[in-house]
Structures are given as structure tokens and as C-alpha cells.
Amino acid sequence: MRILKSNSFVITATIFFVFISIKSHAQQWLGVSGSNYAGTNSVYNNPANIADSRYKLYVNLVANDIFIANNYVGYDAPFSIFKLLTNSASKEYRNSKNIIVFKNAYYDINTEGSPFHLNAIDDLRGPSFSYTLNSKRSFGLLSRVRTMINFTDASLPLANLIRLGTDTLLLKNQAFSLSGMNLNVNSYAEFGISYGQILKDEDEDFIKVGITLKRVVGIYNAHFNIQEADYTITNDPTEPKKQILAINHLKAKYGYTTEASFSNAKPSFPWILGNQSAGSGWGLDLGIVYEYRPDVRKYTYHEKGKAKLDPSKNKYEFKIGISILDIGGINYNNVSYVRNWDVDLNNKQFNSTDVSTIDGLDDAFKRINTTVGLNDDRGLNPFTSGLPTAFQINLDYHLKDKFYVNSLLVQGLRGNNSLSMKMPASLSITPRWESKWLEVGIPFALLDNYSSFTFGLGARVGSLFFGADNLGSLLNINRPRGTDLYFGLSVPIFNRPPSLPNACFYEKKERKGWKFWKKRK
């Protein structure tokens, strides 16, 4: 059996593994998400950010982020990924038909980094809004579609098998073993309601909290967790130019939803409620933010006998946010779409006819099931895929005027072998300059579970923002093993400053509850 039949297929597969995703965020959007003008995009990092916003109303029209990283194959071509994706490489790298020629030598293969992994995330944020109810409370409605691929603990022989296929002396006539490998592919829709409230606003100390309750609906899932495996690759005695993949022993958890679960997905109430989808569940985000405001009296004014804070201004010297995101999971239980088995088998073989002329995912899974003897009637078993639960700490420091520096720590809380989506850990520092209509941020980060150092650029111009957390990948710096791009478009309506800007007073609250007015000097 030859899994990869041509150089063009190898190129396509490798580009998929390194640079293209069926879609993450990645979740961080480092160049813009720490901003005080990120709107709903900051709520995904900490729901408390919805309170005390610079916006009266923020409407997200559309936003999307693509993140992908691996530690097996890198990009080492003489032209950048940007030129490859935009088809702008020079003539010396094209053939007679003006097509870019991508050579095997352009792959930078890591042979000493086992176990190998791939993390890919697409975060499509749909119509959403946040609204400031009053000086203490805000709420919002959020929508998004996330697709995540987590491929962890792959051995070097397996990584080589995926890249090279079976027709290579590197793998033939050898016995290989594998344990703990996990592949989890998930695509799901998310509809959330967020609420934020100020808990404490006393002189220098300010605390706000937030919560987002989410309805999550499964669109597609495929998972394969290998507990034990032994396999060999040999020449096919009936067709010497082809190979046989012999599975000597395999113990695994294996399942998927049919293609119909994807094609029938639609944002109707029966689908959202789980009656017509492959699966559904609930999710929860929790967050708290503390701000230190030593100069709060500069932003305090007296209007109609009440002390108020200017809602159009940032007031902190520094703030710290702590959040736990994506608590919950998706229960895939619709027998019309769900297939799931505990596999324990011996002495099974795949030959070239088992995988030739495959027509779609359903056909591929059907061929696998037929070869190893899995019966669909015995596969109607529900399973739960956990959401990518993560812990985040965010520190934002106001340097001077419109200059800030932001630091974000993200730590995924799901184990590699769990049937769950995983958020790769990261640590970043992002200096930025921000104003109402213009902003620039330059993130420096350790991404992909702290294994890859990157730098990026994010910008906001009016209603449009865009950026990349791994700008070096697009510029072809240091043989990149991943990439990240995001953009968004919004309608911002800002909170208004006080109508009497010169009437600045300061209200001080004493322990016994007495209040007195102290005119600012």
C-alpha cells in the first residue's frame, strides 16, 4: 500500500500540516486582544472585560483567526510562505507552465524531537455585540465557530509514514510500536451570553467579574486514541511494487461523526437545542479583573449631585485578570451521525486496494471499518468531547500616555490522552500604542506549549483590525513550523466623556459610610 502516491500529494499534505488549517487561536489574537478597544474580542479571554468598557455598544461583524504549529516539518524554501500563498515567487522557482515548483529539499524535517505533535485552530467569530447597561453592568451576546485539530505523541516512524507513505526503505521490513498517540478533530458552533459587573470601586482599588454561559453544538468530530499498537510494512507478494501495512496488534478508542453531521448543520432552534445535530452541550467562562488606580480622581467628576467616572478613559496604572475558559463539553449522542468503538484487534492488513480511489471521509472510514471488521450496528455509542479548558492570567501595565505593555499566560488544562480539545500553552509580552481609532501592538511570544519563539504585529484602523502572532513564518525567518493570521471588522460606538469636563470633584468613602466632597486641587 502506498499512502502518498505522488510528490504533489506530499506537498499538499505537508502544507496542510504546517501552514493551512481547516481553521485555530488561536484564541489569543495577541496583537489586539489585550487592548482596551478590543470589544467582544477581549471577552473571549476574560468575560469580566465586558464591564467598564470604553464602548457603549460594540458590534462584531466578522472576525477570524488561523493558527497552526507542529514540531516535525518546517518550511525551508528560498521564497517565503507569503509568496507561496499569494503565488508571487519569482520565475526561477517556476516550471514551463509558470507553476511554482516545490521541492522535497524545501522541507526541514526534525528527526530528534519525538514525540511529535500538530495543533491547528480556526476561530471564526460571527455576529456578536456587547452593551454597557450602566456604570456598573454590561452584557453581550456572542457567536463563533471553532475547528480544532490536536495530534499528539506521534512517534518518528509514524510521522515519516504520514509524510512519505509506505514505499520507502526508511520504513520497510521493520517492526514498530506505538502507544499514547491521540488525534482529535472537532468543529463546533458556540452561542454565548456574557454578563459583567463591577464589585468594588473604592479609591485606588477596582474589581470587576464576568461570566459567559455558552451553548455548544457539535458540527463534526473524528478521534483516534492508540493505547497499544504494533505494525510492520512489507512488500505485497501479489504486487511487488506495492506494500502491505500489517497491524499485528491494536488497542484503541476510535470514532467519528458522518459527513451528514456537517452537511446538515444549520443555525436553527432544533439544531441548536441538539435535536438535529450530532451532539450538543454547555460551556462556561469565568473571569475576574483587578485594577490599581492611583490617579482615579483625575477621571472623577460631579454631575447632578452624583460622583461619576469618565467612561471614555482608562484609569489604571496596571490591571490583572484571571480567567478559566471553556469549562464543559459536547455530548455526541445522535445515533444518526455517531459511530464509536473500543478497538482490540490482531493480525489485520491494509493493501493498496483498501485505500485506492477514496471518495470522501465516509468512504475512507467505511473501508477502514470493513478491513478491521467493525460493524456499524455496534458503533452507535455516544461519546463526549471536552472543550479546550484553559487557565489564563493577563497583566496590562500603563507605561505613559497611550503606551502600554501586556503579558498573557495561557495554560491548557486538558491532558494529551483525553478525548478533548486542547488549547496549546503560551506566554507572551505585547507592547502597544492605543487610541480610539488607531492602535499598533508587537507581540513576542512562546507559542505551541512554550516550544516556539515568535514575534508578530497587530493593528487596528477604525473598524478594521488585522495581524499575525507569528510574523516570522510569513517572512520566512528561521525555518518556521507554523503560522498565525487574524482579521476582524466591527461597528464601535464609544462611551461619551462627561458633558462638564471642567467640573472635576473627588468623592472619598470613609469606613463609617460618611461621604464628603473634596474639590480637586
- In the three-class reduction of DSSP (H, G, I as helix; E, B as strand; rest coil), residue 367 is classed as helix
Half-sphere CA count of 398, side-chain side, radius 13 A: 18
How many other CB atoms are found less than 10 A from the CB of residue 403? 12
What is the pTM assigned to this prediction?
0.86
Give Cβ neighbours of residue 253 (< 8 Å, ≥ 6 apart).
223, 224, 225, 227, 340, 341, 342, 343, 419
Determine contact, residues 40/125, Cβ cutoff 8 Å.
Answer: yes
Q: How many residues does the chain have?
A: 521
Return the pLDDT at 28.
67
Q: What are the residue ranges spanned by the domains of the chain?
A: 7-72+110-519
Distance (Å, whole) CA 161 – CA 140: 47
Distance (Å, whole) CA 498 – CA 505: 12
Return the pLDDT at 500.
64
The fold adopted by the segment(s) 7-72+110-519 is Porin (2.40.160)
- The grid coordinates of residue 50 equal 465586558
- The pairing of strands 318-332 and 383-386 is antiparallel
41: left (phi over 0), alpha (psi -120 to 50) or beta: alpha
Half-sphere CA count of 91, side-chain side, radius 13 A: 1
Q: Residue 417 — φ and ψ, nearest 5°?
A: -90, 0
Return the pLDDT at 502.
53
DSSP string across 371-435:
HHT--GGG----EEEE---EEEEEEEEEEETTEEEEEEEEEE-S-TTSSB--PPPEEEEEEEEE-
Distance (Å, whole) CA 341 – CA 383: 10
Q: Residue 39 — φ and ψ, nearest 5°?
A: 60, -135
Q: What is the pLDDT along the chain (521 residues), one digit of tens a residue?
A: 333 333 333 333 333 333 333 333 344 689 898 999 999 999 999 999 999 999 999 999 999 999 888 899 888 889 888 888 788 999 999 999 899 998 888 889 998 877 999 988 999 999 999 999 999 999 999 999 999 999 999 999 999 888 888 888 788 888 899 999 999 999 999 999 999 999 999 889 999 999 999 999 999 999 999 999 999 988 888 887 888 889 999 999 999 999 999 999 988 888 988 889 999 999 999 999 999 999 998 888 877 777 788 999 999 999 999 999 999 999 999 999 999 999 999 999 888 777 677 788 888 898 889 888 898 888 899 999 999 999 999 999 999 999 999 999 999 999 878 889 998 899 999 999 999 999 999 999 998 888 888 899 999 999 999 999 888 888 877 778 888 889 999 999 999 988 765 545 444 444 444 443 444 44
Determine contact, residues 82/475, Cβ cutoff 8 Å.
Answer: yes
Determine contact, residues 407/395, Cβ cutoff 8 Å.
Answer: yes
Sign of CA dihedral 437, 426, 161, 349: negative
Return the pLDDT at 403.
98
Q: Residue 237 — φ and ψ, nearest 5°?
A: -65, -25
How many other CB atoms are found less than 10 A from the CB of residue 490? 23
